[in-house]
Amino acid sequence: MQIADRCAVSFHYTLKNDAGEVIDSSEGSSPLAYLHGAGNIVPGLENALAGKAAGDKLSVKVAPAEGYGERDARLVQDVPRRAFQGIKDIKPGMSFTADGPQGPSRVVVTRVIGDIVTVDGNHPLAGENLNFDVEITDVREASAEELEHGHVHGEGGHHH
């Protein structure tokens, strides 16, 4: 069976940056499972997997526009330390949920100078090429329940 919309797909992957450093991998764990066509994985990888079948291996370079997007300078902001009520020691690398115009979003502290805290709301991989090595392990028709829920259930997928 070839990968197409409404298929449940499982695959092993290794994700590297352009320097060849491993960012993430399924090695040593269950394959990642997703529902093709439901936006469960980055668009560039999903598009590259269309038409493939179990046993296929491929390398895919996903540009930022088809991955986690370009970096947006407007998502880097300086905020007063008092905005972090109840947190005494704020350090770079800490992440918080911030309420914004489109609802809650994750921000990471990148710098603290005096009473000013710089936060970045970009995805950590925004602006980066994503280099995937993929081995497809299974392709099957998604169940009615998976289609209704918009994700794959069971090993490597969502558990209710």
27: which 2 tokens?
A: 């090695």
Closest by CA position to 133, among listed 40, 54, 9, 49: 49
Q: What secondary structure letter does DSSP report for 4? A: -
Q: What percent of the chain has pLDDT over 70?
A: 96
> Which DSSP state fits 91?
-
Give me the phi and psi of 84, to 5 degrees please.
Answer: -105, 65
The confidence band for 144, taking pLDDT boundaries of 50, 70 and 90, is very high
* DSSP 8-state secondary structure symbol assigned to residue 53: B
SS3 43: helix
Which residues fall within 8 angstroms of residue 95, CB to CB, at 6 or more apart?
106, 107, 108, 109
> What confidence tens digit (pLDDT) does each residue in 48-98 have?
999 999 999 999 999 999 999 999 999 999 999 999 988 889 999 999 998
> According to the model, what pLDDT value does residue 157 have?
60
Convert the pLDDT of each residue in 21-47 to its tens digit.
999 999 999 999 999 999 999 999 999
- Residue 156: the pLDDT is 58
What pTM did the predictor assign? Answer: 0.83
Q: Please give the domain boundaries of the chain with CATH numbers for all domains.
A: 7-68+125-149 (3.10.50.40), 73-120 (2.40.10.330)
